[in-house]
């Protein structure tokens, strides 16, 4: 019976694969013919169009011909883009046409229907689906893992079905390697095989192995604030990327990549995840770090250490700013390059014209309109003074305004962007200090000018436990129309002064925003031995909830070395041992001094160092600081400085150790040069 099923599924796969090959050939032929036709049309344009601007009439005829040809070219580009996109989908499906099959019955009187699920949808004739997209509504019954009577949603409508079969496949192009029928995905061989594969320098999509608790997050309805609270290795980042892909699919006619912002930890992590969405046929959204965000909004200085008073200071800025009496030093001179257009005292005189408004956005925006008029008059007068009166020509007001805009755009642009406001000085006056943080500066600028991004619809913040309350207040104000998805693990907060999940809930409550928290408590990353090791650092109630689905693996190595010679020998031996296996070996260091000492003592044998702007190596061993390792996972991990200085016996020390240990999937070695941290049992 099983062989018969195997043979039938292989026949179906072969048939599907051959159809995809035919589609590929047909699409390539269409694209080639279209390109040839476009080339001919362009040559025709070049040979026949006359660029004649002799008089107004012939100029209009020339421009009309150019417009017609431009429309032809635009039509070709649109058609070529559409064909290219479809060809890209076909090529991806040729790698593995689908990964699952469901059999459903909508009514007892109707026959059972088969649906094959893949990374993307493809139809043979425009309506008969050969493969359905994993994000389509009916695919939800596959991820729900409920055989028998179940349902799925299409918009707000619940569709009841009887799930007769839930089958998973292991395919390689047109070859069926294996299949199995299952109800509970955690027990399935596909997941375990996927988890046992060695890791590369790039994150892989989890589409074929999405689990029920992960699927709940991915398909959760839109809410203003969604917090995903997951333990280490629960797939938070993978789930985040799958949710972005799901949102793009659900809102494909209304949501663009530039309307989604993903805040990521560092450039190393961004490079690690940058192929997941393209592999799913979607474009990456705006993906930036906190420092890059500050540069994007033109904050004039870099972020420094965390300031525990920042959140209270933002509240003070909001409350005190309207009571502030403007003074000349609150503004900058307005200049056109090196030429003074208006002094800051003149700016203040304009501000005082609107003293009925308190200091803030309405005052500054109203005053900027008046400043623009005055600046244009000033610039016009300066320009006339330099003109030769015998060559001056009268111009219409419209033409004159356009000329002023073109010739003196710098000064006018500064006025429109409210650059005449001395944000730093105003913040210093309010807070009574010379030292202003990036959050305080930007918040003050937004309060004064109304600067924000109303286009952004979703802001996703990964590892949210590493952000401060002030940073989240800045995001909330800068992206006023966005829905927020926050992912993190409170026990991976490795810096003092960052936000707690209770504070996140309180912020949502203060804003009267709907708030949902979803848990992810299963570790898919680490072996049971490693999971037990880092779970032991959790509070008792959390510890009992943690589980690993991996098969038993290697025991964790723990060694406290007595001297330098023993330590560096043990470290070198472990590096060699792990490098014999496939995959990546990360030597995670808590202290910068540890890295320096390893380089000196191992010399030419020392692994490469991955710094803040590097990509991960394709294979082998490398050294990385703990903050850069956050969010990443590696087959083999060596904690190189697991002593009490690196991981002290306090809450933060436990968080750091938990974070470092949980990067490992297969092997973990914990070393110290001297006494081990008391957190290690």
Lowest average pLDDT, out of 280-284, 384-388, 568-572, 596-600, goes to: 384-388
Judge if 294 and 320 occupy the same domain. Answer: no
Report the run of H or E that residue 159 belongs to, with start and end.
strand 157-172
Q: Provide the Cα torsion 351, 356, 359, 363; round to 10°.
A: -60
How does residue 394 score in pLDDT terms, banded at 50, 70 and 90? very low
Which pTM was predicted? 0.85
Tell whether 323 and 423 lie within a shared domain.
yes
Instruction: State yes or no: pLDDT of 506 exceeds 50.
Output: yes
User: Picking from 115-124, 214-223, 323-332, 399-408, which range would have the lowest pLDDT averaged per residue?
Assistant: 399-408
Within this chain, do residues 634 and 599 fall inside the same structural domain, yes or no?
Answer: yes
For residue 406, is it within any domain?
yes
578 belongs to a structural domain:
yes
pLDDT digits (tens, 9 = 90+) for 94-126: 999 999 999 999 999 999 999 999 999 999 877
Give yes or no: residues 204 and 240 share one domain: no
Residue 390 is assigned to a structural domain of this protein: no
Q: Which residues carry a binding-site annotation for ATP?
A: 230-237
Q: Please check whether residues 563 and 592 belong to one and the same domain.
A: yes
Q: Domain check: are 571 and 651 in the same one? A: yes
245-277 per-position pLDDT tens digit = 999 999 999 999 999 999 998 888 888 888 888
- Quickly state the pLDDT bin for 547 (edges 50, 70, 90): confident
Stated length of the chain: 681
Task: Check pLDDT > 50 for residue 668.
Answer: yes
Query: Is the pLDDT confidence value at 472 over 60?
Result: yes
User: Are 422 and 343 contained in the same domain?
Assistant: yes
| CATH number of the CATH domain containing 492 | 3.40.50.300
Max mean pLDDT among 397-401, 537-541, 643-647 falls in 643-647
Mean pLDDT estimate for the chain:
88
- The mean pLDDT value for 503-510 works out to 94
Same domain as 547, residue 488: no
Summarize the confidence of residues 553-567 as an average pLDDT. 95
User: Which has the minimum average pLDDT: 14-18, 281-285, 326-330, 449-453?
Assistant: 281-285
**Residue 163 predicted with pLDDT over 90:** yes
For residue 526, being part of any structural domain is answered with: no
Residue 113 lies inside a defined structural domain of this protein: yes
Same domain, 230 and 330: no
| Whether residue 56 has pLDDT greater than 90 | no
Looking at 485, 520, 555, which one is the last position of a domain? 520
Is pLDDT above 80 for 200?
Answer: no
State the average pLDDT over residues 123-134. 86
d(CA 463, CA 628) in angstroms, rounded, equals 12
DSSP secondary structure string for all residues of 85-127: HHHHHHHHHHH-S-SEEEEEESSTTS--EEEEEESS-EESSSS
What would the pLDDT profile of 608-638 be if each residue is shown by its tens digit? 999 877 788 988 999 999 999 988 999 999 9
pLDDT score for 227:
97
Q: Is pLDDT of 441 > 50?
A: yes
| pLDDT for the residue 313 | 96
Q: Do the domain assignments include residue 505?
A: yes
Under a CB-based contact definition with an 8 Å cutoff, are residues 472 and 513 in contact?
Answer: no
Binding site as annotated, residues: 230-237
**Domain final residue, candidates 195, 216, 237:** 216
Residue 544 has pLDDT above 70, yes or no: no
Total structural domains within the chain: 5
- Report which of residues 67 and 96 the model is more confident about: 96
- Closest to 428 (Cα-Cα) out of 444, 452, 405: 444
79 falls within a domain: yes
Please report the pLDDT score of residue 124 as a whole number. 81
Q: Lowest-pLDDT range, 3-17, 402-416, 420-434?
A: 402-416
Mean pLDDT of 650-656: 95
Domain range for residue 322?
311-385+400-431
Are 257 and 199 within one domain?
no
357 and 252 assigned to the same domain: no
Of 290, 285, 202, 294, give the one whose Cα is nearest residue 627.
Answer: 290
According to DSSP H, which parts of 519-609 are helical? 528-535, 540-543, 564-579, 592-602
User: What pLDDT, on the 0 to 100 scale, is given for residue 273?
Assistant: 86
According to the model, what pLDDT value does residue 552 have?
85
- What is residue 397's predicted lDDT score, i.e. its pLDDT? 58
Is 83 found in the same domain as 115?
no
For 674, other C-beta atoms within 10 Å of its C-beta total 14
* Range of lowest pLDDT (55-59, 206-210, 356-360): 55-59
Residues 6 or more apart whose Cβ sits within 8 Å of residue 622:
584, 585, 586, 587, 607, 608, 609, 610, 616
The answer to whether the beta carbons of residues 659 and 630 sit under 8 Å apart is yes
* Residue 419 maps to a domain: yes
Using the 3D structure, point to which of 95, 120, 139 is the last residue of a domain: 95
């Amino acid at each position: 019976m099983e062989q018969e099923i195997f043979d039938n599924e292989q026949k179906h796969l072969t048939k599907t694969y051959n159809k995809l090959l035919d589609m590929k050939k047909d699409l390539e032929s269409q694209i080639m013919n279209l390109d040839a036709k476009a080339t001919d049309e362009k040559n025709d344009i070049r040979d026949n169009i006359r660029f004649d601007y002799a008089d107004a009439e012939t100029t209009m005829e020339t421009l009309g011909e150019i417009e017609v040809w431009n429309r032809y070219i635009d039509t070709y580009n649109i058609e070529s883009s559409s064909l290219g996109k479809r060809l890209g989908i076909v090529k991806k499906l040729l790698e593995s046409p689908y990964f699952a099959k469901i059999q459903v019955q909508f009514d007892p009187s109707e026959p059972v229907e088969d649906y094959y699920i893949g990374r993307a949808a493809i139809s043979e004739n425009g309506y008969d689906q050969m493969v359905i997209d994993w994000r389509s509504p009916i695919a939800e019954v596959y991820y729900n893992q409920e055989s028998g009577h179940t349902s799925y949603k299409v918009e707000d409508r619940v569709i009841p079905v009887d799930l007769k079969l839930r089958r998973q496949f292991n395919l390689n192009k047109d070859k069926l390697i294996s299949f199995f029928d299952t109800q509970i995905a955690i027990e399935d061989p596909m997941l375990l095989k996927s988890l046992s594969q060695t890791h590369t320098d790039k994150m892989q999509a989890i589409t074929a192995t999405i689990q029920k608790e992960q699927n709940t997050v991915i398909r959760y309805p839109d809410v203003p604030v969604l917090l995903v609270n997951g333990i280490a290795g629960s797939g938070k980042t993978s789930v985040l990327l799958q949710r972005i892909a799901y949102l793009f699919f659900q809102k494909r006619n209304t949501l663009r990549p530039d309307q989604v912002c993903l805040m990521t930890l560092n450039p190393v992590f961004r490079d690690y995840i940058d192929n997941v969405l393209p592999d799913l046929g979607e474009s990456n959204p705006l993906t930036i770090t906190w420092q890059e965000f500050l540069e994007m909004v033109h904050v004039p200085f870099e972020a420094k250490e965390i300031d525990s008073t920042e959140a209270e200071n933002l509240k003070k800025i909001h409350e005190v700013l309207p009571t502030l009496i403007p003074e000349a030093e609150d503004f900058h001179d307005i200049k056109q390059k090196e030429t003074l257009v208006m002094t800051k005292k003149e700016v203040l005189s304009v501000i005082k014209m609107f003293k009925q408004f308190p200091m803030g956005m309405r005052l500054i925006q109203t005053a900027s309109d008046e400043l623009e008029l005055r600046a244009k008059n000033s610039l016009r007068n300066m320009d006339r003074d330099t003109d030769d009166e015998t060559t001056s020509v009268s111009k219409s007001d419209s033409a004159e305004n356009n000329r002023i805009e073109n010739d003196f755009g710098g000064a006018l642009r500064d006025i429109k962007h409210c650059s005449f406001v001395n944000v730093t000085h105003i913040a210093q006056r309010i807070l009574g200090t010379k030292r202003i943080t990036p959050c305080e500066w930007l918040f003050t600028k937004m309060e004064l000018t109304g600067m924000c991004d109303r286009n952004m619809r979703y802001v996703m913040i990964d590892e949210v436990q590493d952000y401060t309350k002030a940073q989240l207040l800045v995001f909330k104000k800068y992206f006023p129309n966005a829905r927020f998805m926050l992912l993190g693990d409170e026990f991976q907060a490795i810096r003092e002064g960052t936000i707690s999940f209770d504070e996140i809930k309180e912020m949502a409550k203060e804003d009267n925003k709907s708030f949902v928290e979803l848990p992810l408590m299963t570790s898919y990353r680490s072996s049971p031995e490693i999971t037990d090791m880092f779970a032991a650092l959790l509070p008792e109630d959390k510890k009992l909830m943690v589980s690993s689905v991996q098969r038993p693996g290697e025991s964790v190595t723990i060694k406290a070395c007595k001297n330098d010679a023993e330590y560096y020998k043990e470290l070198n031996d472990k590096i060699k041992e792990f490098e014999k296996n496939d995959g990546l070996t990360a030597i995670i260091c808590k202290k910068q001094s540890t890295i320096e000492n390893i380089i000196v003592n191992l010399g030419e044998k020392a692994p490469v160092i991955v710094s803040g702007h590097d990509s991960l190596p394709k294979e082998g061993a490398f050294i990385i600081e703990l903050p850069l390792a956050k969010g990443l996972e590696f087959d083999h991990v060596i904690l190189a400085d697991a002593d009490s200085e690196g991981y002290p016996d306090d809450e933060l020390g436990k968080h750091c150790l938990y974070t470092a240990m949980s990067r490992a999937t297969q092997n973990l070695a914990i070393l110290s040069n001297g006494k081990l941290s008391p957190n290690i049992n």
